Amino acid sequence: MKRQAIILSTVWSAAAVVLFLVIFAGGGVEAFAGSSLKVALATAGYMVALIVQVTFTFRNRRRRRGGIVVRDELDDEVQKRASLAALSIVMAFIYVLGVVLWEVFREAGSIPVGWAYVVAISVIIVGSLAHAVATLLIHRSLYGDG
């Protein structure tokens, strides 16, 4: 579980960097929305991270070593706590992002369409990254450094 969380936090961090660079380099969100190439690059970065996550999810579901299930009750507790932490972080992120967008674009009366993509993909990245990092932190607090 620890190895998986390290890999996933690395992969989702890379996806966040790719998303940030593709969207905000060279014109910002408005230019991003009008560029099929930029949208394709951002989507590709996201899809790679998603494929890695799905692969880990199904690969580790019922893996056994010597007839013994690898997961135990403590692993389930770590996942439960990490899921709750990730949900809380995502809810806070959505709220803060919504308020910031509202404040920035209140005078204009509408939010540019490119922000819909940014919000959608960033919520998934923040949630996935939050879960991986929370898993590492909770795992450490329950298991120690090992």
CB atoms within 10 A of CB 122: 19
Q: Does position 68 have pLDDT exceeding 90, yes or no?
A: no
Q: In terms of Cα–Cα distance, which of 48, 16, 22, 46 is closest to 35?
A: 22
pLDDT tens sequence across 43-63: 888 888 889 888 877 766 555
What's the whole-model pTM score? 0.79
Q: Cα dihedral sign for 102, 107, 108, 110?
A: positive
pLDDT at 6: 84
pLDDT at 62: 56
pLDDT at 38: 85
Residue 73, classified by CB atoms within 10 Å of its CB into exposed (0-12), middle (13-18) or buried (19+), is: exposed
pLDDT tens sequence across 100-122: 999 999 999 999 888 888 899 89
What residue numbers bound the domain in which 80 lies?
A: 2-143
Tell me how many domains the chain contains.
1
Q: Does position 73 have pLDDT exceeding 80, yes or no?
A: no
pLDDT at 106: 93
* CA gap 98, 100 in Å, rounded: 5
